[in-house]
Amino acid sequence: MKKLAMYATVVMFMAGCSNKVTISKIDEPFDSFYDQFHSDIDFQLSRVQFPLGGELVSIDGGEPWTKEDWEPHLQKVTDISDPEYDTEIIRKDEEVIDKVWLRDSGFSIERRFEKIKGKWYLVYYQTVNL
């Protein structure tokens, strides 16, 4: 009987010590991502989803964005204060679009950020300079 009680105690102890893996889904806040995206170049490159939708459009045609030719984005749309530029930010649960344009000039920028598996990524970048 003592052996049976000891065996039961050992089995219960081992069952309580099993490795438990819990995965929690933590959604990254967009504002924190946006600040880091514009201040940390390595982070920015890790969060641009190449091949990137959109292109650089000029009178000579269009050119796609590549990782090799990427120029860091250091200016947040929210920080543009020049009154000649108009800005717009459209926020949805899984997508944020920011736009900048110079009135009556043929110049505009549009970027789209999407939340993918809880993290934000730049998935589209269009610059028009005609």
* Sequence ranges of the domains in the chain: 28-129
DSSP codes, 64-85: E--STT-------GGG---TTE
Nearest of 91, 92, 88 to residue 110 by alpha carbon: 88
113 close to 122: Cβ distance less than 8 angstroms: yes
- Cα–Cα dist 29/120, whole Å: 8
Rounded to two decimals, the pTM is 0.79
Which tens digits make up the pLDDT trace of 39-64?
999 999 999 999 999 999 999 999 99
Which tens digits make up the pLDDT trace of 57-114?
999 999 999 999 999 999 999 999 999 999 999 999 999 999 999 999 999 999 999 9
Query: How many residues does the structure list for the chain?
Result: 130
The yes-or-no verdict on residue 1 having pLDDT over 80 is: no
- At the top level of CATH, the class of 28-129 is alpha beta
Q: Quick one: pLDDT at residue 26?
A: 78
Which tens digits make up the pLDDT trace of 7-21?
444 344 444 554 544
Nearest of 126, 112, 85 to residue 30 by alpha carbon: 112
